[in-house]
Structure 1
Amino acid sequence: MCGIIGILGMDDVAERLVEGLRRLEYRGYDSAGVATVHDGRIERQRAEGKLNNLARKLGQEHLPGHSGIAHTRWATHGAPTEDNAHPHIVGDVVLVHNGIIENFKPLRDELIAEGRTFKSQTDTEVVGHLVAREVERGASPEDAVKAVLPRLHGAFALAIMFKSDPDLIIGARLGAPLVVGYGENENYLGSDAIALAPLTQRIAYLDEGDWAVVRRSGVQIFDKDNNPVERPITMSGITGALIDKGNHRHFMQKEIYEQPVVVAQTLSSYLRTLEAKVALPDMEFDLGSVERVAIVACGTASYVGAIGKYWIEQLARVPVEVDVASEFRYREPVLGANTLGLVISQSGETADTLAALRHMKACGVTTAGIINVPTSSMAREVDLLLPTHAGPEIGVASTKAFTCQLAVMAALSANLARAKGRLSEAEEAELVSQLTEVPAAMNAALAHDAEIEGMAHTIAGARDVLYLGRGPDYPLALEGALKLKEISYIHAEGYAAGEMKHGPIALIDESVPVIVIAPSGPLFDKTVSNMQEVQARGGKVVLISDAEGLAQAGEGALATIEMPKVHPLIAPLVYAVPVQLLAYHVAVVKGTDVDQPRNLAKSVTVE
């Protein structure tokens, strides 16, 4: 979470720092702050809440200085107050920090015992005191940071400046991303390439454990053993223009509407339509040797994995396990030599998933990753990168990244089935044909936006909402409930439709809307039976199905949403659209902050 930007510039940097924070606000928006070094002083402004609060302060009081660091925060230690906002100043030192210092409590106790005073509740201030103590003992800034880094346990990205040396920013990373940017007589640090795009396209990604000494004249990078190293400078290719909402009210709405295009772009890199084949990037292992797949992900991405379990087992007849990443390592999973470890992440920096990936690699497992950021830590560490092409996703609640991940999962499932000899040429050609229809089917689903908006007022008044589905639509029910929770703050749960009678049906009454995801097909009749059990107990059903399904079961529903008739394989991609739109419109009716919901951040880089 959280966003960092640092600039060693040729003129005042405060405005450019704030512009960088605007590009990073999706990472955290509890509070924000800027600090510069000017005329032997550290100048600082901080504000709790959204970035506009900080911008307003800076508009009233200019912050001079050609060197500066800035931060937008998602709180971990300490409430989101101005006192806990970054940057933190300790003596000669000012710093910002992403991540968590897991051993901050014993370090803090040690420092307090020496008589040092803390002004915040954050773990970050501990790092400031440790570095300041080394400087006070006569160490150079570089030696001070070098001495402190081994004492820090957890995940962090740090940017540190010194009052005595305005031509210096020291950055360090362990478990959280950090990039160096190279300019003309200027150099930069940032959480990612997006932050630095208006400043430079020339960036270098720090590897795990790296720390960097950044000056206007150049950059020195050291590895975790303090050996000088060279990290390749690449062109980020990211436009310097701020991503805007266009004609849409929110980023989430824009990203929902982008799905037909970005899913088509993603599928185009995997489908060979003229040959009626599904292709994957070149790999250095035999996919046919895979005997088991272990899928690890968090949140929305984990539901992609759960849908993938249905697809892989049905098509390839290969057993699949799906774990939420935060639990994976701790159950001590049994990982065989012929296991494919598959991680799924929009950012490629999700801390729990990255830790799970490294655990799998340590166990000798071949790994693959469905990832949207090809320069991310996960993308660089997996044996096989399966990129999505969703483009930057700004809305915290994932939409287009989810469906692009599903598109890649479908391609992987088909490839694995072919490698295992389970997919004939005719069957593969049929799969390719079905997948090429997805963008048009998504457009048809989007055509129902207005009617979904109309029914949102009914759902918005509920305290609890249930989602039901069977087969691959069960994980989609979980995703629908998550979307509603994330942005409307209504309590929602997803259930396998057949499980309703084993307990959850006790929750049903006339005040509980039940969203039923039921495309016509082999599981439709059973899902409808479960729906009728709900209706018999006064539950108000919103049925999402195609014309055939609605004709058979739509009578008596509170509302219906008609989807195009699609093959069961691609139904989750298409039915994701109404699920997302319903959550979006309910949140708008309730007046919540759709793009930046409370307590959430886009890139979760802490465990």
Structure 2
Amino acid sequence: MCNMAAYAGREAAAPILLRMLEAQEGLGGGHYSGIATLHEGKIHLAKVCGACSRLRTETAALHLPGCVGIAHSRTPGIPLNSWAQPFQSSDAKVVYCANGSHGHFANCTDFQAWYDLLLNQGVVFPSEVDYAVKPYPVLANGHSLHSTELSANILAYYHAAGDDMRLALRKTFQTAPSEIASLALSTNEPQQVSAARLNQPLMWGEKNHSFYLATSALAFVGENLHWVNPVPAACTLSMSADTITFSPMEYFDDLLEPAIPHAEATRILDQLLADGQPRRIGALCDAIKPCWPQGKLPQAAMLAYEYLREGVLTRKIRLVASAAPATRPGDEAPLTLFQKNL
């Protein structure tokens, strides 16, 4: 699972974003890392195929200017920097990243039609490669591109037509639906982070007139936030240093289960960790997905992350640092395992 972070406040965003990204990258990211900030009407972007350590040493990520920004660490793929997120739209006015997969909505988007429309408008796709990369879109010419880059340009398309970012995100989710959460910046909304969440995890918090977002609230532990809450499912949001605003996406109401199965999921996770063996986050999420009714979008990752955060804070669960072979040849990606303290 990819991991994301966002900040809107009065301090330099880049150091905060990198800390939050590093706190999460072992949960499934670490194969690619990227950060984008907004300053004086311009998007500043740095990204690499590699972990945050490589992002720090090979780019100016730590010194990107601005008090507003987003960051992303992603799962394995092909060893190209151009496949790292966030993705900047071809008009350089929007930058966007996402966590999740097509899931329930596989085959619901006409990627070819959107590719043709955008290509005819002069859009360039740096992630496009001249071979098929599944499960990403495979075009009529046999090429593939990252679907999130396509979504970044769909978002920019709606935004350029006059929609504010929250409405443009809503339309993008309806046009190209996926089981994701996403973050975005726009040069037209210079002090603001925009975001959307369907069912994948996204948490928000506040400290000293600053707002924070992250895939897992484990990213907030070192930031000493005043309070933390989950972003509601099926909503868009905008946040600045002064305020945060949520808007529901009613289009997806029928796919959501109002009653979150906390008790059943907790029982399963307790049993899975009871033997004291270290477990990956993916195994924990997969174990509780069946708790949701057939046909409903599971929020397993959100629930698992919060279960683990509570366990870490109460010292019932500890983080075990490990590593795995990375997408970039010769590199290792950070890997965080969870182990019950017996």
Could you tell me the TM-score, scaled by structure 1's length?
A: 0.41
* Bigger Rg, structure 1 or 2: 1
Q: How many residues align?
A: 285
Alpha-carbon offset, residue 181 of structure 1: 1.4
CA 1:353 to 1:167, structure 2 compared with 1: closer, same or farther past 3 Å? Answer: farther
Of residues 132, 157, 172, the one that matches 2:181 is 157
Q: Deviations over 1:534-561 (max 9, x none)?
A: xxxxxxxxxxxxxxxxxxxxxxxxxxxx
Contact 2:217-2:306 within 8 A present in 1 as well: no
Contact 1:36-1:69 within 8 A present in 2 as well: yes
Q: Which residue number corresponds to residue 596 of structure 1?
A: 334
Q: Deviations over 1:245-280 (max 9, x none)?
A: xxxxxxxxxxxxxxxxxxxxxxxxxxxxxxxxxxxx
Distance 2:274 2:113 in 1: 44
Q: Which residue number corresponds to residue 8 of structure 1?
A: 8
Letter paired with 1:217: D
Distance 1:375 1:74 in 2: 20
Alpha-carbon offset, residue 394 of structure 1: 4.1
Q: Counterpart of 2:293 in 1: which secondary structure?
A: helix
Of residues 200, 203, 222, the one that matches 1:198 is 222
Alpha-carbon offset, residue 194 of structure 1: 1.7
Contact 2:280-2:337 within 8 A present in 1 as well: no
Contact 2:201-2:216 within 8 A present in 1 as well: yes
CA 1:223 to 1:352, structure 2 compared with 1: closer, same or farther past 3 Å? Answer: farther
Alpha-carbon offset, residue 162 of structure 1: 0.7
Letter paired with 1:68: G
Q: Which residue number corresponds to residue 79 of structure 1?
A: 78
Distance 1:217 1:226 in 2: 29
- Please give the residue correspondences for 1:50-449 in structure 2 after superposition, counting only pairs within 5 Å: 50-58=51-59, 62-75=63-76, 78-90=77-89, 91=91, 92-102=93-103, 103=106, 106-114=109-117, 115=120, 116-120=123-127, 121-199=145-223, 200-225=225-250, 301=272, 351-359=285-293, 373-374=306-307, 390-395=316-321
Alpha-carbon offset, residue 350 of structure 1: 5.1
Higher RCO, 1 vs 2 (CA within 8 Å, ≥6 residues apart)? 2
Alpha-carbon offset, residue 144 of structure 1: 0.8
Alpha-carbon offset, residue 57 of structure 1: 3.1
Distance 1:346 1:225 in 2: 33
CA 1:163 to 1:177, structure 2 compared with 1: closer, same or farther past 3 Å? Answer: same
Alpha-carbon offset, residue 375 of structure 1: 7.8
Distance 1:15 1:184 in 2: 16
Contact 1:104-1:123 within 8 A present in 2 as well: no
Letter paired with 2:4: I
**Percent of aligned pairs with the same residue?**
20
Distance 1:34 1:182 in 2: 20
Alpha-carbon offset, residue 154 of structure 1: 3.3
Contact 1:175-1:351 within 8 A present in 2 as well: no
Alpha-carbon offset, residue 219 of structure 1: 1.1
Alpha-carbon offset, residue 24 of structure 1: 1.1
Distance 1:212 1:392 in 2: 32
Q: Counterpart of 1:64 in 2: which secondary structure?
A: coil
Q: Deviations over 1:142-187 (max 9, x none)?
A: 2111222223433212111111112211222223210111122211
Distance 1:197 1:389 in 2: 13
Q: Deviations over 1:509-530 (max 9, x none)?
A: xxxxxxxxxxxxxxxxxxxxxx
Q: Deviations over 1:203-242 (max 9, x none)?
A: 1102332322212211112333189xxxxxxxxxxxxxxx
Q: Counterpart of 2:162 in 1: which secondary structure?
A: coil
Distance 1:21 1:41 in 2: 22
- Please give the residue correspondences for 1:558-577 in structure 2 after superposition, counting only pairs within 5 Å: none
Q: Counterpart of 1:596 in 2: which secondary structure?
A: strand
Structure with greater proportional helix content: 1
Distance 1:592 1:81 in 2: 13
Q: Deviations over 1:70-121 (max 9, x none)?
A: 111113xx51421000110013211121111354784431222212432213
Letter paired with 1:356: P
Distance 2:285 2:248 in 1: 20
Contact 1:33-1:87 within 8 A present in 2 as well: yes
Distance 1:135 1:213 in 2: 14
Letter paired with 1:393: L
Distance 1:159 1:181 in 2: 15
Give the superposed CA RMSD.
Answer: 3.9
CA 1:354 to 1:133, structure 2 compared with 1: closer, same or farther past 3 Å? Answer: farther
Letter paired with 1:89: Q
Distance 1:372 1:10 in 2: 28
Distance 1:38 1:47 in 2: 21
Alpha-carbon offset, residue 133 of structure 1: 0.8
Distance 2:124 2:107 in 1: 15
CA 1:348 to 1:49, structure 2 compared with 1: closer, same or farther past 3 Å? Answer: closer
Contact 1:346-1:372 within 8 A present in 2 as well: no
Alpha-carbon offset, residue 353 of structure 1: 3.8
Contact 1:346-1:371 within 8 A present in 2 as well: no
Q: Which residue number corresponds to residue 134 of structure 2?
A: none
5+ residue gaps, structure 1, are 228-282, 286-294, 305-344, 363-369, 380-387, 398-485, 488-590
Q: Deviations over 1:487-529 (max 9, x none)?
A: 9xxxxxxxxxxxxxxxxxxxxxxxxxxxxxxxxxxxxxxxxxx
Q: Deviations over 1:384-404 (max 9, x none)?
A: xxxx9643424358xxxxxxx
Distance 2:307 2:282 in 1: 8
Alpha-carbon offset, residue 38 of structure 1: 1.0
Letter paired with 2:84: A
Q: Counterpart of 1:37 in 2: which secondary structure?
A: strand
Contact 2:13-2:69 within 8 A present in 1 as well: yes
CA 1:80 to 1:119, structure 2 compared with 1: closer, same or farther past 3 Å? Answer: same
Alpha-carbon offset, residue 7 of structure 1: 0.8
Distance 1:226 1:216 in 2: 29
Contact 1:9-1:187 within 8 A present in 2 as well: yes
Distance 2:170 2:61 in 1: 38
Contact 1:111-1:129 within 8 A present in 2 as well: no
Contact 1:93-1:128 within 8 A present in 2 as well: yes
Contact 1:71-1:87 within 8 A present in 2 as well: yes
Q: Which residue number corresponds to residue 257 of structure 2?
A: none
